[in-house]
Amino acid sequence: MPIAWWVFAAALVAALVMLAFLYRRRQLLILRGAIEMSVFRGGKFLGGWMLGVASYSGTDLQWYRMASFSAAPSLRIGRRTTVLLDRREPASGDALWMPPDPIVLDLQTPGGPVTVAVPKSALTGLLSWWESAPPSWAADGVGF
């Protein structure tokens, strides 16, 4: 086969993969209460910022990695067990792998520290969700 066919085949495969990721993003964003969110997975090999979508669940914020075909969330952040340590502007080179107009949140979870980036437009809703509590939690003796 001529080289042009191989180039065409590679371009077609790349286009199909891109369409699959765009379709997954659309499907995740139509989830009720979904927001764009990036998670920092360390600076080691295959680490760094990873794009994804987070969905509010009753007691968890479930994060789905964009570059994954798994239907299960890649990360769960507990509503009752997470503490916001800091919020800050992203470093200059990091904004490429984050949602538009991002704010970085440093969180403490039972599994250790987690760093996430969300759009500033979603920050108020996210913080309200974390700070509010269903009436059943008051009955459990859990306080803020």
pLDDT in tens, 28-76: 666 666 888 999 987 666 678 998 889 888 788 999 887 777 778 899 9
Q: Strand pairing of 102-109 and 75-78? A: unpaired
Whether the predicted pLDDT of 102 surpasses 90:
yes
Task: Look over the chain and give the mean of its residue pLDDT values, rounded to a whole number.
Answer: 82
- For domain 3-133, give the CATH number: 2.30.29.30
Q: What does the alpha-carbon distance between residue 28 and residue 69 come to, in Å, rounded to a whole number?
A: 11
| φ, ψ (nearest 5 deg) of residue 141 | 85, 15
Residue boundaries of the structural domains of the chain? 3-133
Structure tokens at 135: 């009436």
Q: Is the pLDDT reported for residue 140 higher than 60?
A: no
Q: pLDDT-based confidence at 25, cuts 50/70/90?
A: low
